[in-house]
Amino acid sequence: MISVEEARRIILENIRPLKETEAKEMCSCLGRVLAFDLMAKENIPPFSNSAMDGFAARAKDLAGASRENPKTLEVIESLAAGYTAKRSVGSMRAIRIMTGAPLPKGADSVVMVEDTKNKEEFVIIFKEVEKGENVRYAGEDVKKGEIVIKNGTVLKSGHIGLLASLGAGKIKVFRQPRVAILATGDELVEIGQRLSPGKIRNSNAYSLYGQALKMAALPILLGIARDNKKDLEQKIRKGLSADMLLVSGGVSVGDYDFVKDVLKDLGTQMKFWRVAMKPGKPLAFGMMNGVPVFGLPGNPVSSMISFEQFVRPALLKMSGAREISRFYLPAIAKEDFEKKKGLRYFLRVILENKDGQLYASLTGPQGSGILKSMALANGIMELPEDMEVLRKGEKAKVTYLD
């Protein structure tokens, strides 16, 4: 049995990033990985402009202005966003200006409308401004020539906005890993089928499908293989044309757990098959002709936790992402929990924020077959191997799932 870190290390050491790229409309690139360093060809903003609705003026004309000692300027033009001023601002003059409109020539600052009173063609100003006040300078967000988004960045909404600002309609991203998903078990039936005695519905394939989609991968459902070597072999072969294969169930020590044997018979180089964790102890990992193969535990929660801990980083690396580590936060336990020494526990919790402090309560019974415990969770609490009991009020580290 190896540790969670060791398992992750072995997996990542075997994963090669996909090299192929594709050109995509940037709108559909949320979660995709940028395949080049994006250099700005323009400044953002492209011109200096007003950060407020107000009056563009010269700071020196307003020196000393206050409620008691207001200054009066002549208003020579009104400027909306999207247009340029026809006149320049001279001594004791101002241009009425809207947020986003280009700073007129001659003006060096903007007085907020709240600090003024407009009277016909004059404005009375009650406050002095500094040079540059309420001005957004050209290039203050992004400078022409700057690398704005680095190769290997997983694109978020903000990146999509930046791409739009820079006029990058189509961009080069790494292609999505194709992830084949195979459920195994004589007890499994598909969604539309009748539940005859002894049968349960295949749920793992679908939670894995969702998890893969969330990683911007392309899941491929291979259906259900029955618990015999022939069927397993046939269906596992199909999965080998994908970039990664996930087999669910059949990797434990039961009489009909043939997955490891079949993988070996097919020439998979098995790297390990047990990890010191709960849920998720039976986890097999191997490489078959360059394709990483995960034998995920059959229990529904174990399957999902194993995906989070091992498949997720593997997919990120395969997708070309530079950053694959996960963020931990401290949370205070709202109840006691006893655990076995030697295993890392992954508890499904509901995280609540009270006055800036996170609190974690269990999502109910924590059995590895209780899928609801996962569905209700917005966080996972990790308890270290050497811990035996977590007391209410103690801190532990959590990851946020949403």
* Interacting residues of 367 by C-beta distance below 8 A, sequence separation 6+: 301, 373
CB 188, min distance to Mg ion, A = 8
> 274 or 397, CB closer to ligand AMP?
274
User: Which residues in 12-31 contact ligand AMP (CB under 6 A)?
Assistant: none
Q: Closest distance between Mg ion and the C-beta of residue 259, in Å? A: 8
CA angle 201, 203, 205 (to 5 degrees): 125
Alpha-carbon distance 401 to 307, whole Å? 13
For Mg ion, the binding residues in 171-190 under the rule CB under 5 A are 185
Class of residue 243 by CB neighbours under 10 A (exposed 0-12, middle 13-18, buried 19+) = buried
String marking each residue 214-253 x if it binds ligand AMP according to CB under 6 A: ----------------------------------xxx-x-
- Say if CB 32 and CB 155 are below 8 A apart: yes
Interface pick for ligand AMP out of 200, 213, 329, 389 (rule CB under 6 A): 200
Tell me how far, at minimum, the Cβ of 257 lies from Mg ion, in Å.
6
Radius of gyration of the chain (CA): 30
Return d(Cα 157, Cα 14) in angstroms, integer: 31
- DSSP line for 216-263: T-EEEEEEEE-SSHHHHHHHHHHHTTSSEEEEES--SSSTT--HHHHH
The yes or no reply on residue 298 touching ligand AMP (CB under 6 A) is: yes
Task: Single out the segment in contact with ligand AMP by CB under 6 A; choices: 33-41, 114-122, 182-190, 267-275.
Answer: 182-190
Identified binder of ligand AMP from the candidate list 43, 116, 134, 202, rule CB under 6 A: 202
* Planar angle of CA 5, 369, 266, nearest 5 degrees: 60
Total residues binding Mg ion (CB under 5 A): 4
With CB under 5 to 8 Å by kind, the binding choice for 204 among ligand AMP, Mg ion, none is ligand AMP
Name the nearest CA neighbour of 349 among 383, 372, 380: 380
CB under 5 to 8 A by kind: which of ligand AMP, Mg ion, none does 297 bind? ligand AMP
Residue 248 interaction partner, one of ligand AMP, Mg ion, none, beta carbon < 5-8 Å per kind:
ligand AMP
Residues in the chain: 402
249 binds Mg ion (CB under 5 A): yes
Does 185 contact ligand AMP by CB under 6 A? yes
Q: Least distance from C-beta 368 to ligand AMP, angstroms? A: 8
Residue 4 three-state SS: helix
The two structure tokens encoding residue 156 = 């978020």
Question: Is beta strand 147-149 parallel, antiparallel or unpaired with respect to 170-174?
Answer: unpaired
In the list ligand AMP, Mg ion, none, the entry touching 183 (Cβ below 5 to 8 angstroms by class) is ligand AMP
Asked if residues 182 and 263 have their Cβ atoms less than 8 Å apart, the reply is: no
Shortest distance (Å) from residue 239 CB to ligand AMP: 15
- What whole-number distance in Å separates Cα of residue 399 and Cα of residue 131? 46
Give the bridge partners for 224, in sequence order: 183
Q: Please give the distance of CA 76 from its chain centroid, rounded to a whole number.
A: 50
**Total site size for ligand AMP, rule CB under 6 A:** 19
Min dist CB 247 to ligand AMP, Å, is 10
185/279 with CB nearer Mg ion = 185
Indicate which single residue of 163, 183, 333, 396 sits in contact with ligand AMP (rule: CB under 6 A): 183
Report how far Cα 199 is from the mean position of its chain's Cα atoms: 37
Binding site for Mg ion (CB under 5 A): 185, 249-250, 298
Binding site for ligand AMP (CB under 6 A): 183, 185, 187-188, 200, 202-205, 248-250, 252, 254, 257, 297-300
